Structures are given as C-alpha cells and as structure tokens.
Structure 1
Amino acid sequence: MEYPDPATLPAELRAALTTHTANIYRMVAHSHGMGRSFLDMAAAMLQTNSVPFPLRELAILRVGHVYESPYELHHHERFARAAGLSEDVIAAAATGAAAGVSTEEASILRWTDHLLAEHTLGEAERKEALELFSATQLADFVLTVGFYQLVCNFLNTFEVTTEGEA
C-alpha cells in the first residue's frame, strides 16, 4: 500500500510527520482520526515508560519475533544493542528460550509469552512480576506488550518495510 500524500493530511498530523519520519509513522497517517494519538502513544512507550530500557526492549523483541515482524525487529534489535543487551539475549528473544540469559531476562521472556498466549498474567505470574516490578512498572510492561502487538499487526497488515528510511 502506498503512503498517504502529506498534502492530503489534516494539519496536525502533517505537522507531526515532520518529526516522525519512520515508515510506520508515515503509514499510520492513513488514520486521520487516530494517527496523532498513535504517535503520542509511541512516544510515551519510548520516553516515559517506567520499565527499564533493556527489559522493555527484550519484551518488544519477543513480540516482534512471535508476530514475525521484520520491520519491528530491524529497529528494536538496534535499540536493544543500544540498551546494552548482549547478542545472546537478543538471540534468546527469537525463541523465548531462557538459556544464557539472566533470571530477570528469563522472566521477561516468560511473562511476554504468557501475555501473548493467555492474554493475561495469572496470579502466580503477577505475584512474581510484582517482586521485580512496582505496580506502575507492571502496568507499563503489560501496556508495552499490548502496544507492540498492535504495532506488529499494523506493520504486517500494511507490509511496512524499512525501504527509503534514513
């Protein structure tokens, strides 16, 4: 699908695309009513999320692998490296296997898979998560997994690629 012509977009969305230049944002601009809110949520995921950056990126990578989203993986593997995740941990995100990862990282992979498969954390997982996270961090973690499910669905549906990105 083609990217929308910026000249046809509402002024607020057109202005937002001057700073949000990645292809996903360009494609999201097809949604005149929700595009701006999506951009705001994406910014919050990256800028005000209370989940520690490395653990957040690990969860995002796991979602990207489960959803088989090459665009998501391309960008977030770079973010994961910038966050200090090792190549072994980045590789573990592909399978969800806990070999060679820390206890915290194994928990993130397990909880992410549980959310993806069961659509919730059970009582035992929630209790375990609250030993690592505050309630705020757990809320942000669940929102992160859910948001990136939405992102991957969007990317896959519209076949967004990195072609032409800087």
Structure 2
Amino acid sequence: MHSPRLAPELLEMADAILQRNSLPDRLRELAIVRVGRVYQAPYEVHHHENIGRLVGLGQTAIGAAATGSAEGLSDEEASVLRCTDRLLARHTLSDAERAEALEFLTVGQLSDLVITVGFYQLVSNFLNTFGVTTEGETSPY
C-alpha cells in the first residue's frame, strides 16, 4: 500500500468490519459486492464475491449486487441492497428507509451496514485510483 503511516490502521479497520461486524456475513458481503459493482472496482468485486459464496451468499444475491435488482432476494437481502444503494446515491437514509431497514436489522446492525458501505467506498476509491488488479494482472503503479 502506498501510505505506510495510514495503511496499518486501514487494514485494522478492514479486519474489524470483516471479523466483528454484527451483520450476518452474507448480508455484509452483499453490501460490499454492491459497493464494488457501483464503483466498478473489479478487485473488490472479485474477492468479495468469493468470500460471499463461502459464507452462503447465493448466486441470485450476487447477481442482484451486480444489477441492483432485488428480484428473487429474501426481504432481508432486498432491504440491505436498497439501503446500500440509497447510501451510495444520497449518503443517508430517510426516516421511512431507516424504519424499513429496522424491520429486518437491529439498530447495531444498521449502524454496521452504514459503516461497511462507507468503508468500502473508501477502499474502492483507493483501488480504482491506483489501478489495483486481481491476481495475475499487472498494476500500472
């Protein structure tokens, strides 16, 4: 990483989001893959689709993360997908959107979703800026 003073803390935050997140793993990965898709961050998408599969994220949900369509998702997955898109587009949830999310998530889980989406926006910006690629590809940096 090109930032030796900040990188250790950034990696520590990534670990916290992956290891101590109160969201069910598959919902966390659904949100992360959606951020990667919206930001067109292939490294992020590649790795988190694989992690998602390992934690039970189905192909329908992975497809939904690519398209933004909630068709075929559980109500809980659809709510997380909608919240993720609204956070990406408007950087907040309306009172009604927050109330909808709280039908499926606890306040703590919704807080962790907001943190996860924001963190992976930062990660995707970094990956895209420095042309980070998947394994076997060459980065220009």
Identity %: 64
Structure 1 equivalent of residue 122 of structure 2: 150
Q: Which runs of 4+ in 1 moved over 6 A?
A: none
Structure 1 equivalent of residue 88 of structure 2: 116
Structure 1 equivalent of residue 61 of structure 2: 89
Q: Which amino acid aligns with 1:43?
A: D
Q: Per-residue displacement from partner, 1:45-96 (whole Å, max 9, x unpaired)?
A: 1100111100110000110100001000110010110111111111111011
Gaps of 5+ in 2: none
The CA distance in 2 between the partners of 1:138 and 1:111, in whole Å, is 9
Equivalenced residue count is 137
In the alignment, structure 1 residue 107 sits paired with structure 2 residue 79: yes
Aligned alpha-carbon RMSD (Å): 1.3
Q: CA deviation at 1:104?
A: 1.0
In the alignment, structure 1 residue 133 sits paired with structure 2 residue 96: no
Structure 2 equivalent of residue 58 of structure 1: 30
In the alignment, structure 1 residue 159 sits paired with structure 2 residue 126: no
In the alignment, structure 1 residue 69 sits paired with structure 2 residue 62: no
* TM-score of the aligned structures, taking structure 1 as reference length: 0.79
The CA distance in 2 between the partners of 1:100 and 1:135, in whole Å, is 25
Q: Which amino acid aligns with 1:112?
A: T
Gaps of 5+ in 1: 1-26
Structure 1 equivalent of residue 12 of structure 2: 40
Q: Per-residue displacement from partner, 1:116-147 (whole Å, max 9, x unpaired)?
A: 00100110011111222121111111000000
The CA distance in 1 between the partners of 2:74 and 2:103, in whole Å, is 15
Structure 2 equivalent of residue 19 of structure 1: none
* TM-score of the aligned structures, taking structure 2 as reference length: 0.93
Q: CA deviation at 1:156?
A: 0.2
Q: CA deviation at 1:35?
A: 1.0
Larger gyration radius, structure 1 or structure 2: 1
